[in-house]
Amino acid sequence: MSVYDKLSSLGISLPPVSAPAAAYVPFVQTGNLVFLSGHIAKKDGKVWVGQLGANIGTDEGKQAARAIAIDLLGTLHAAVGDLNKVKRIVKVMSLVNSVGTFTEQHLVTNGASEFFAEVFGPEKGAHARSAFGVAQIPMGACVEIELIAEIG
């Protein structure tokens, strides 16, 4: 099954690339690696504002991370033209806006990781990963994620 067939079966349409909010580009390709800039969580087209452990729980944070993963695939599609060229999701870095006592950043980030495995399969979708708790994210977003993918 193609990546697009899988997305369609999940009822997902890829969003267009968002315009950068500062002095950066949405993606850079070097060789067979594509680096995607950090994407912040959005809900209903607006920044998904909140802080894990204060006014957002782990399950909602996981939903936000999954929403970011969908946005990242929209950008990756724009970068490479065909998601079926993706050989592997190489690395995910997740920043979770959280209070100092919140310790489930890794579970929040699973929302993106599990989505990539679902769309690309267990081999292509499996990736190295970091998940950090941070004091704040631009515009008050609850989660930000960046991605590195290998294409062939």
Give residue 21's pLDDT. Answer: 85
Give residue 145's pLDDT. Answer: 98
Give residue 50's pLDDT. Answer: 98
**What mean pLDDT is predicted for residues 61-65?**
98
Give residue 7's pLDDT. Answer: 98
Give residue 140's pLDDT. Answer: 98
Task: Name the pairing type of β-strands 143-151 and 33-40.
Answer: antiparallel
Model-wide pTM > 0.75: yes
Q: Where are the domains of the chain?
A: 1-9+25-149
Q: Is the pLDDT assigned to residue 2 strictly greater than 90?
A: yes
- For 77, 87, 108, 114, 123, the CA distances from 82, given in Å and listed in that order, are 6, 11, 28, 21, 18
**What mean pLDDT is predicted for residues 86-96?**
98
Give residue 30's pLDDT. Answer: 98
**What mean pLDDT is predicted for residues 113-135?**
98
* Fold of the domain built from segment(s) 1-9+25-149: 60s Ribosomal Protein L30; Chain: A; (3.30.1330)
Residues 6+ positions from 119 with CB-CB distance below 8 Å:
3, 6, 7, 10, 73, 125
Phi, psi of 40 (to 5 degrees): -95, 155
Percent of the chain with pLDDT over 90: 97
Average pLDDT along the chain:
97
Q: Is the pLDDT assigned to residue 138 strictly greater than 90?
A: yes
Q: How confident is the model at residue 1 (pLDDT cuts 50, 70, 90)?
A: confident
**What mean pLDDT is predicted for residues 63-86?**
98
